[in-house]
Amino acid sequence: MTTPPEGAPGGTPGGVPDSTSKPSDEKLPGKQPPAGEPAGEPTPDDQASLPARLGEERLEEPVARTGMFGVTTTGDTSGYGRLQVHRPPLPAAEPPYGGYFDAIARGLGSALQADGVDFNDAIERVTTDFGELTFYLRRVHLVAVMDKLLHDPDLRFEIFGGVSGVHYPGDVGRELHAVYHLASITHNRRVRLEVAAPDADPHIPSVTSVYPAANWHERETWDFFGIIFDGHPALTRIEMPDDWPGHPQRKDYPLGGIPVEYRGTKVPPPDERRSYS
Amino acid sequence: MSSTDTHATPGATDAEADATEGRVYNLAGGDWDDVVTDDTDRGFNEQIVVNMGPQHPSTHGVLRLILTLEGETVTDARASIGYLHTGIEKSMEYRTWTQGTTFITRADYLTPMFNEATYCLGVERLLGIEDRIPERAQIIRVLMLELNRISSHLGGIGPFGLELGATTIFLQGVRFRENVLDLFELITGLRMNHAFIRPGGVAQDLPAGGLEAIRDFLRKAPKWIADLRKLIDSNAVFIARTKGIAYLDLEGCMALGVTGPILRATGLPWDLRKSQPVMGYETYEFDVPTTDTCDTYGRYLIRMLEIEQSLRIVEQCVERLADRASVANDPWLIQDAKIGWPARLSLGPDGMGPSPEHIAHIMGQSMEALIHHFKLVTEGFRVPVGQAYVPVESPKGELGCHVVSDGGTRPYRAHLRDPSFHHMQAVSMMCEGGNLADVIPAIASIDPVIGGVDR
Amino acid sequence: MGIEEKLPSGVLLTSVEKIAGWARARSVWPATFGLACCAIELMMTGGPRHDLARFGMEKTGSTPREADLMIVAGRVSQKMAPVLRQIYDQMPEPKWVISMGVCASSGGMFNNYAIVQGVDHIVPVDIYLPGCPPRPEMLMDSIFKLHDKILNMKLGPDRDEEITELEEARLNMLPLRVNAGINDIGSEL
């Protein structure tokens, strides 16, 4: 995937690796390649078994979809009825990440270390897909990580870019995701944090104590997804009327349209139409 | 109705509520004066709660403000939003990626191109075609975005005058804005909510005579700007109503994560077009205007100066497009047949419709073209799994669309991080402690568009 | 110059209905209920190029108590609907409603949980104006049609009769297409 150029995330690929990152002698935080295996190019043997290994990894993932074309009853004569599509394996990048991502990871690692929190405890996964750095956090450490990202002089992510909720009903046990975007004016960087909470226990700590601007964003995410932000001063509905039941942007909430009359026929709302994809 | 029903804490007695809520009077008819004649607590601490909106001519849409006033001073200002919530984000989840453009363009309806741009940039990043967008498309995008910046700032300054009671500012601003809308209509076909920027490029090329019309506009615009500035800049009444009002310094902006003209009014020249440029913005010459007064007047001045800078960029875009006139087959949409679906419309006897040549081609000559057309029309293209966030510098601040794809033909989640939504949280900081009459310029200086706030 | 120059002996005979209709139509004060994108086009219609002031409609009533016409310009969300009704109720008779744009007329492109699918669910509408958003010229055309309607409005008992007639006509209106196929309305059982 594309590596970002120094100091300016953008679309242009072919970035220069971070000049301050040293090769293998410095331990960068994050999932390290297993000891004993040399980092770098896979050996010819590894490459030969790569497709088989990837295939096995995929089979270990949970099943995301059974059958094709959305058919759920026995009327399926397509022959695809017993097809099982596994969820794609969760990507994880290994350090060095490229560009300024390593500076962020290192800064965050050392800042958390100073508080006695291990980087790998707080952060489950790191991805650098599409030239954007994403940290997947454990929710208990969210406020601590946010605090470091704002106040640490090497990090200084001043601009809070909003909370975006996403509902993955297929991701059992981690259905509700909250995605935070942060921007640093001082260092001209961007970072994304993602935390997950299960439907059964939709609590995520509120970051309003660190970023006051998160106030309305968290209210909106509560309104639309039902994620309860612990520690929020006034978690009430903001977009829907105050007594609205349900959380509209969840995937199990219907779109709520009405059939539309057109030239003597009725067109159903978009979520009730036939779909082939 | 018993007294326990009326207190915020259920079951509280009047005396208990007195301590927490303030003086509580429990009345059942009778004359108010009789009740309070011997009340020594009444005095200067009388606060009234005033509800402004949601329908109010002095707000930028359906914004509801709940103000607690002590005399003329605002002690508490809270903004209540949601009166225009449209479910745009959820509606997009049931449409294809290209159709998502038409929905998201109506979020912040004064800056439709910017909504489309941030969404399409996110989709393009997920598709991995960021470096394959044709040069012509990028130039046209920048051209339209800067024209939209001009029309948005005028759409902010005009109603600003109207809200202050200065209808001349409104009329002159609207008069100028009509010319920009004429250009939009010429190029995209619509005056607003264009759905012009699509994933892969733009919907169609500039029409014949488009460059001439823009050049004509560029010739006349500086005089219009100068007239408008002569009307407003040194206007004693305008200055009295805007200087020192709604003060939000750098510390306050950083605490609230405010970007855009409000941040630049504190002196910090943070502009995403310069620091994290997309669509080729780094190749254009323009300045980022700042002032250091941190007040409403500074923000107004920045908007006028930004209009002038946008005119510079539009001129450079026109030069580049003119230079490319000799390039044959200059595409304005990515040439990948699986993603880019050019409109291929033509004007027939009964209006605009599919061009007969295109129909003949796909029906008679090329099976592959027919298949591509069919798949794109019925399903749309598929976007790889992942999420992207590509913010742009909209006239109001940092506008970004968080796009999540599950590999399908529909957005799994598209969340618009709107600057107006974010900045409305700063209303309290700007208005509290000031006069009631200063609330109007304060909100107008944030320039919120409630469509973006509520989506 | 005007009609007064052409009157024979300076005497004009007319009916109270016609004079009342003429007076009402020539000075309709809008309570602009500008909500969303259509509100911007409404503002532009009040601007110098398409000038609503020519038709006596410049005084946009800041208060609904002084307004005759409510132009619902934009999408009406569920939260806004009671407010809309309250503003409509605050307007004194005679009052008219133009639903400007497709979102106000029918919910528009937003066929979902958040938008009222047409303000005629809440207030009685006189003129429906499609468009997304309608051009200022289209808005003016709708206002002219409304002016026609106002000019020819009856008064008193004639008005009650007129209302009853209109209602009967509506109730007995035939559908646009006769049931012809499996998808047609009325063919479902």
Chain C CB contacts of A241 under 8 Å are 78-79
Edge-to-edge strands, sheet with A123-127: A123-127, A134-137, A189-197, A176-184, A159-167
* Terminal CA-CA length for chain C: 65
Chain B CB contacts of C75 under 8 Å are 84, 86
Interface of B with A in 333-392 (CB under 8 A): 378-379, 382, 385-389, 391
Q: What is the pLDDT of residues B106-151, one digit of tens each?
A: 999 999 999 999 999 999 999 999 888 999 999 999 999 999 999 9
Per-residue pLDDT, B10? 63
As given in the structure block, the two tokens for residue B190 are 């619509």
Per-residue pLDDT, B411? 93
Residues B71 and B182 in one domain: no
Q: Do B400 and A181 touch (CB under 8 A)?
A: yes
As given in the structure block, the two tokens for residue B15 are 């005396």
CA distances for B318 relative to A247, B210, B314, angstroms: 47, 10, 6
Is B304 within 8 Å of B229 (Cβ atoms)? yes
Q: Looking at residues C104-122, what average pLDDT do you find?
A: 91
Of A10, A179, A237, the CB nearest to B276: A10
CA of A259, closest CA in chain B: separation in Å? 15
Per-residue pLDDT, A75? 66
Residues B319 and B429 in one domain: yes
Per-residue pLDDT, C189? 43
CATH value at residue B244? 1.10.645.10
Q: Is the pLDDT of residue A44 over 90?
A: no
Is C80 within 8 Å of C35 (Cβ atoms)? yes
Residues B163 and B97 in one domain: yes
Whether residue B350 lies inside any domain: the answer is: no
Label residue A154 exposed, middle or buried (CB < 10 Å: 0-12, 13-18, 19+). Answer: middle
Per-residue pLDDT, B71? 82
Is B245 within 8 Å of B295 (Cβ atoms)? yes
Label residue C124 exposed, middle or buried (CB < 10 Å: 0-12, 13-18, 19+). Answer: exposed
Q: Is the pLDDT of residue A7 over 80?
A: no
The domain tally of chain B equals 2
Per-residue pLDDT, B378? 83
Residue of C nearest to A269 (CA): C111
A40-49, B171-180, C76-85, C147-156: the lowest-pLDDT one: A40-49
Enumerate residues 6+ apart whose C-beta is below 8 A from A187.
A7, A100, A103, A154, A155, A156
Per-residue pLDDT, B9? 61
Q: Do B178 and C47 touch (CB under 8 A)?
A: yes
Residues B166 and B200 in one domain: yes
Chain A CB contacts of B121 under 8 Å are 11
Is B101 within 8 Å of B82 (Cβ atoms)? no
CA of A223, closest CA in chain C: separation in Å? 13
C-alpha–C-alpha distance, residues A167 and A36, integer Å? 39
Enumerate residues 6+ apart whose C-beta is below 8 A from C135.
B191, C41
Q: What is the pLDDT of residues A69-119, one digit of tens each?
A: 666 666 667 777 778 878 777 888 888 888 888 889 889 989 988 988 888
State which residues form the domain around B64: 3-80
Residue of B nearest to A192 (CA): B389
CB of C176 within 8 Å of a chain A CB? The answer is yes
Q: Of B46, B80, B114, which residue sits at a domain end?
A: B80
Q: Is the pLDDT of residue C180 over 80?
A: no
Per-residue pLDDT, A12? 36
**Beta strands at C96-100 and C69-73: parallel, antiparallel or unpaired:** parallel
Per-residue pLDDT, B208? 86
Residues B74 and B97 in one domain: no
SS3 content of chain A, % helix, strand, coil (to 5): 25, 20, 55
CB pairs under 8 A between A and B: 124
CA of A247, closest CA in chain C: separation in Å? 11
Residues B51 and B115 in one domain: no
CB pairs under 8 A between B and C: 96
Stated pTM of the model: 0.86
Q: Is the pLDDT of residue A224 over 90?
A: yes
CB pairs under 8 A between A and C: 46
Task: Show me where the domains of chain A are located.
Answer: 48-89, 92-277
Residues B269 and B174 in one domain: yes
As given in the structure block, the two tokens for residue B318 are 């026109």
C-alpha–C-alpha distance, residues B25 and B36, integer Å? 9
Grade residue A24 by pLDDT with cuts at 50, 70 and 90.
very low
Residues B251 and B397 in one domain: yes
C-alpha–C-alpha distance, residues A14 and C34, integer Å? 49
Grade residue A26 by pLDDT with cuts at 50, 70 and 90.
very low
Q: How many other CB atoms are found less than 10 A from the CB of residue B285?
A: 9
Across chain C, mean pLDDT equals 86
Per-residue pLDDT, B45? 64
Whether residue B250 lies inside any domain: the answer is: yes
Across chain A, mean pLDDT equals 79
CB of A265 within 8 Å of a chain C CB? The answer is yes
Q: Of B30, B52, B80, which residue sits at a domain end?
A: B80
- The domain over range A92-277 is classified in CATH as 3.40.50.10190: no
Q: Of B50, B80, B110, which residue sits at a domain end?
A: B80
Angle, vertex CA B382, rays to CA B377 and CA B385, nearest 5: 160
Residues in chain B, pLDDT under 70: 1-24, 35-45, 58-59
More confident of the two residues B49 and A28: B49
Residues B109 and B58 in one domain: no
C-alpha–C-alpha distance, residues B410 and B416, integer Å? 16
C-alpha–C-alpha distance, residues B412 and B100, integer Å? 11
C-alpha–C-alpha distance, residues B298 and B289, integer Å? 10
Q: Do A132 and B389 touch (CB under 8 A)?
A: yes
C-alpha–C-alpha distance, residues C135 and C127, integer Å? 15
Whether residue B445 lies inside any domain: the answer is: yes
Per-residue pLDDT, B21? 63
C-alpha–C-alpha distance, residues B278 and B393, integer Å? 10
Q: What is the pLDDT of residues B389-436, one digit of tens each?
A: 999 999 999 999 999 998 888 999 999 999 999 999 998 888 888 888
A9-23, A49-63, A119-133, B103-117: the lowest-pLDDT one: A9-23
Is C87 within 8 Å of C35 (Cβ atoms)? no
As given in the structure block, the two tokens for residue B438 are 């200063």
More confident of the two residues A36 and A153: A153
Is B137 within 8 Å of B340 (Cβ atoms)? no
Extended strands (E) in B23-137? 48-52, 64-70, 73-80
Q: Which contiguous run of DSSP H or E holds residue A137? A: strand A134-137
CA distances for A96 relative to A40, A128, A145, B159, angstroms: 11, 10, 20, 52
C-alpha–C-alpha distance, residues A172 and B180, integer Å? 51
Residue of B nearest to A13 (CA): B131
Residues B397 and B279 in one domain: yes
**Beta strands at B351-354 and B345-348: parallel, antiparallel or unpaired:** antiparallel
Q: Do A265 and C183 touch (CB under 8 A)?
A: yes
Chain B CB contacts of C35 under 8 Å are 61-62, 84
Is A105 within 8 Å of A97 (Cβ atoms)? yes
Per-residue pLDDT, C136? 93
CB of B224 within 8 Å of a chain C CB? The answer is no
- At residue B30, the 3 state secondary structure works out as coil
Per-residue pLDDT, B148? 95
Residues B74 and B218 in one domain: no
C-alpha–C-alpha distance, residues B291 and A88, integer Å? 51
- pLDDT above 70 covers what percent of chain A? 78
Enumerate residues 6+ apart whose C-beta is below 8 A from C150.
C21, C24, C25, C28, C94, C96
CA of A131, closest CA in chain B: separation in Å? 9
Residues B67 and B103 in one domain: no
Grade residue C186 by pLDDT with cuts at 50, 70 and 90.
low
Whether residue B361 lies inside any domain: the answer is: no
